Structures are given as structure tokens and as C-alpha cells.
Chain A
Amino acid sequence: MVAAVAEAYRRDWAVVLSTTAQLTRDLDLAEEHTQDAYAQALQTWEATGIPDRPGAWLTTTARNRALDALRRDSVFRRRMPLLVTDETTRGPEDALDDDRLRLIFTCTHPALSTDAQVALTLRLVCGLSTPEVARAFLVPPATMAARITRAKKKIAAARIPYRVPGPDQLDERVSAVLEVVHLIFTTGHTAPFGADLVRRDLTDGAIGLARLLHLLMPTNAETTALLALLLLNAARQDTREADDGRLLLLSEQDRTRWDRRLIAEGQSLLTEALLRRPPTRYALQAAISALHAEAPSWADTDWEEIVSLYDLLLQLWPSPVVELNRAVAIGMRDGPRAGLDALTPLLADPALATYHYLSATRADFLRRLEHWPQAVTAYREALALTDNEVERTFLTERLSEVERNL
């Protein structure tokens, strides 16, 4: 029973909450009634069995609770700022998907800070608890609760509409949504702090969101490309950590354990995204990921093609992080000397001053060139800059290996 409710939680949370919000016109109340509906499911389903359509049961239950509360509190509510929604009244049956999109666009409105957008999306759309969201960003639960409350207050007081934006704004707003989804995935893919390398609740949440967006906007090429990128990266998730918890680089991973089903799905989505229009940033990133997924080994990767994809990506999305990855690919195509040269201009970039991958990449080139003292310095620098324990273990091992050659 608990499993059935957990499954319904994962699958239907966003539908139940977004539909209820359309009725309550208050995100706090919608959240409360949604939670109550799940609590009631735990009891009722025990006695009556699991309904044929758990999502519809939960939505109806949450709606009825909301209607009761509305009747009870109508006087009090008149003084509260309400969510601005379109005044159309529709049944809950035909408008489910639309309501989830409304919720997503509201949570990622540009008038909210990025931190607030991510927190609201994780809490309201993915259904993570506030302590879970807090843990992802290493802030105390009370701080995260305050951040979420403040954001919900702003939505109500500034009247950020609960609405899917019109056609003239849609592309821009979809890009903002995708950025939030991408950020959630990358935060989970290499958790910035703590003992876990991967936070699966975050990566799964991001993939769930990307799948939903793709389902609702199947012809949006950028959405398709992002889903492809996430699936291709997630396919390698289980092989990034050795049994002893050590970080495994792409070059060391057991490629036979990569998830071929996810890779195939990612590749076909990528093909679809590339057919539709000139490649977007996510499509290029996905194409690079796909080349890695197809390669029989690290050495036998199509580095030529990967370097040219990074060249294209740099034009579309000039970023020092992309330049760093391009330098790694050049190092593989033309050797560590060329890689080190490609890296040199980045050393002065303030945006990368505390980016441990830069020091770690430089250390690796220096190690391969057998420039031992410089490699030691670079590994020590990388260690000083990372807080992820799995990565620290890896860097410490490399450091002692290099120190033995001094």
C-alpha cells in the first residue's frame, strides 16, 4: 500500500497540486490539500483497495477538501491576494496537462530569483519535501522553508499569473524552464557537497520534468534536446562510482554497464531535435554525450568530431566551462601538450578561479607530460577547491601517485 501511494506520489503529485491550485488560487492551500489527499490515500486504500485511477482519486479528494475549506473560510479568504488565473472553468479531466504547465511556468517566472525558481520547482512540481530541497543546496531546512514561503508570497502579492505564456513569449519562457531543469540535473549529477556523488532524487526529478515538458510540447526542439542530453548522461550514472566509492572518470568506466536503453532513447530524441531546426546548446551537448556513449573506449572516441562540436557550442554558448571541455578534447586528439596550450588562456579567467575542474584538468595534462612538481601543485590546488568527498578521494590518490615520482 505504501508502495502504491509512493508510486502515485511520484507520478501524480504535480497533477494533483496544479489542478487544486487552479481551484484554490493559493499555492499554500493547494499544497496543504494535496498533502492531505495523499495522507488520506494511505488510510482509505488500505480499506478499499487501490482505485483504478489513483491520480483521479487523489485529484478529486484534494479538490473536495479544497471546496470544503473554501466554503468554511470564504470571509477570511477575501482579504488574501489570490493567484491570477484565466477565468475559464473546466472540468479536472480535460485540463490536467495544461495545469501542470501553468504550475511550471509560474515557478520559473523571471521575476523570481533563480534560487527561488529551483526551490519552488523541486517543492511544488517534483514534490520533494522542504528538508530534501534544503539538503540539495546545503542550507538549513528553516532557511529553505523561508525561501519557498517568500517566493510564494511574491507570486501572490505581485500577481505573477498562473498561466502558460502566450506565443510571443513562449520560447523565452521555455528556455528559462529548461535552464532550471538542467540546473537541477547537474546539481544532482555531481552533488556540490557531501558524501554522495549523485543525488538521484534530483536527477530523477529533472528527468521526470524533462519527460513531462517533452510530452506536453513535443514539437519544441530545445525541450527534446534537453531530454536527450539528460538521458544520455544518466545512462552513465551507475558507473561513475567504484565499489569503494571512488570517482571513476569516463576513461575508466565499465562501458558494458552503461544503460543501453537510455542511450538508444537519448539518441533517437537527439536525431529528432536535430532534424527540426539548427542545433541548440542542449542538442550540441547531447551530441557530444552521444559520441561518448557510442565509443568503444575512451581512446577510440571520435575526438575530431567532439572538438568540432565544442567549437560550435562555443559560438552558441560562449562559456569558460565549454572552453575547458574543449581543451580536454584537444588534449585527447593532439596530445597533452596541445591540451595544456588550449588551457593556458583560461588560467586568467576570473570565472574559473575557484573551479576545481580547471586545476584537475591541468594537473592531469602535467601528469601525462611527467612534469611532476607542477602536477603536484595543480592537484593540491584542485583539492583545496572541491568539497565533494568522492572527488577528493580521487584527487588525493592521483596526488600521491604523482608525488612518488618527485
Chain B
Amino acid sequence: MAKYMILIYGDAAQWDAMTEEQWQAHNAGHAAFAAKAGTRVLDGRQLENTPTATSLRADVHGQVHTTDGPFLETKEGIGGYYLLEASDLDEVLELAQLLPELNYTHSGLEIRPVVERG
């Protein structure tokens, strides 16, 4: 078995503009995903939108600067994640099809294998 992180990307403005019914459908999608994935989901959370983010970055002198906002200023930011356990990439790809972010063109998913050591 291996671990994978599913990073959920999307445009926060579009998420904010969703109606109550749209959110219900959206949450039902996540529930369907969770039901199908079962114990394979090790963790999964929605994150507050990127305006709430705080970034830290060191300059060439080793001085750490704290800034308001996400690490990369892009229209689409990370809105949530799942940490999954699966036997291979195809298993994750199949489960990920259920996530409601794929019903919109502004959002999408990035799947990253987690480094295993030892």
C-alpha cells in the first residue's frame, strides 16, 4: 500500500458564489467519495480560503519574512485535501472521479504520492 495526497484546487470567488443548493450537492459528492473510499481515507479537510493564508519565506540573508496571503498568488488556490491509502495510482484515479470539484471547470485535483522512508 502507498499513501497519496489529493490536493483540491479551485477559484475561491466561485466557491463563495455558490448557492445553498449547490453546496448541498457539493457536500453530497464528498459524502459519496468518503463512503466509497471508506477506511482508505486517512485524513481529509476543507481549508479556509486563501485570503486567510499566512506565508513565511526567508531572504538571502536568512531573514524570515511573514506575509499575508498564499505562497503562490494564483487565481486557483488549495481549498482542501485528502490523504489516502491505496495500492496504486489507478485506484486513486478511480476514486477521485467521484469528487464534486470535477463538476466545475474552475476547480480540479492534483494527486501526489507521499514519500515513504524506511
* B77-94 interface bits toward A, Cβ cutoff 8 Å, 1 = contact, 0 = none: 000000000011110010
Tell whether, in the assembled complex, residue B87 and residue A158 are in contact, meaning their CB atoms are under 8 Å apart. no
Task: Assess whether A92 is interfacial by the CB under 8 Å rule.
Answer: no
Asked if A161 contacts B113 (CB within 8 A), the reply is: no
Is A276 engaged at the interface, CB distance under 8 Å to the other chain?
Answer: no
Per the CB 8 Å criterion, the residue count for chain A at the interface is 12
A160 on interface, CB distance cutoff 8 Å: yes
Closest-CB distance, A82 to chain B (whole angstroms): 11
Nearest residue, chain A, Cβ from B111: A158
Q: Residue B2 at the A interface, CB < 8 A? A: yes
Contact with A157, one of B87, B90, B113 (Cβ below 8 angstroms)? B113
| CB closest chain-B residue, reference A162 | B88
Inter-chain pairs besides A111-B89, A158-B89, A158-B113, 20 sampled, C-beta below 8 Å: A84-B87, A84-B88, A109-B89, A111-B93, A157-B113, A158-B111, A159-B2, A159-B88, A159-B89, A159-B113, A160-B88, A160-B89, A160-B90, A161-B87, A161-B88, A161-B89, A161-B90, A163-B88, A163-B90, A165-B90
Instruction: Report the Cα distance A111→B2, complex, angstroms.
Output: 17
Interface of A is mostly: loop
Chain B residues whose CB sits within 8 angstroms of the CB of A84 once the complex forms: 87-88
Q: How many A-B residue pairs have CB under 8 A?
A: 26
Give complex CA distance A163, B93 in Å. Answer: 15
A165-B91 Cα distance, complex, nearest whole Å: 11
* Most A C-beta atoms less than 10 A away, residue of B2, B87, B89, B93: B89
Query: Interface 1/0s, chain A 318-344, versus B by CB < 8 A?
Result: 000000000000000000000000000
- CA A275 to CA B8, docked complex, whole Å: 45
Cα(A113)–Cα(B57), bound, Å:
32
6 contacts between A and B (CB under 8 A): A111-B93, A158-B89, A159-B88, A160-B90, A161-B90, A165-B90
Q: How many angstroms from the CA of A47 to the CA of B7 in the assembled complex? A: 59
Which residues from chain B contact A109 at a C-beta distance below 8 Å? 89
For chain B residues 68-118, which have a beta carbon within 8 Å of chain A? Answer: 87-90, 93, 111, 113, 116
Distance in Å: Cβ of B95 to nearest Cβ of chain A: 13
| Complex Cα gap A165–B94 (Å) | 12
Please encode chain A, from 152 to 187, with 1 for each CB lying within 8 Å of some chain B CB and 0 for all others.
000001111101010001000000000000000000
Closest 5 CB pairs of A and B: A161-B88, A84-B88, A159-B88, A158-B113, A158-B89
CB distance from A112 to the nearest CB of B (A): 11
When C-beta atoms are compared, the residue in chain B nearest to A160 turns out to be B89
B93: chain A residues at CB < 8 Å are: 111
Complex Cα spacing A161 to B89, Å: 7
Looking at the assembled complex, report how far the CB atom of B2 sits from the nearest CB atom of chain A, in whole angstroms: 5
CB-nearest residue of chain B to A83: B88
Minimum Cβ distance to chain B for residue A173 (Å): 10
Instruction: Tell me the minimal C-beta distance from B97 to chain A in angstroms.
Output: 11
The answer for the CA separation of A111 and B90 in the assembled complex, in Å, is 9
Contact mask B1-26 → A, CB, 8 Å, 1/0? 01000000000000000000000000
- How many angstroms between the C-alpha atoms of A333 and B1 in the bound complex? 62
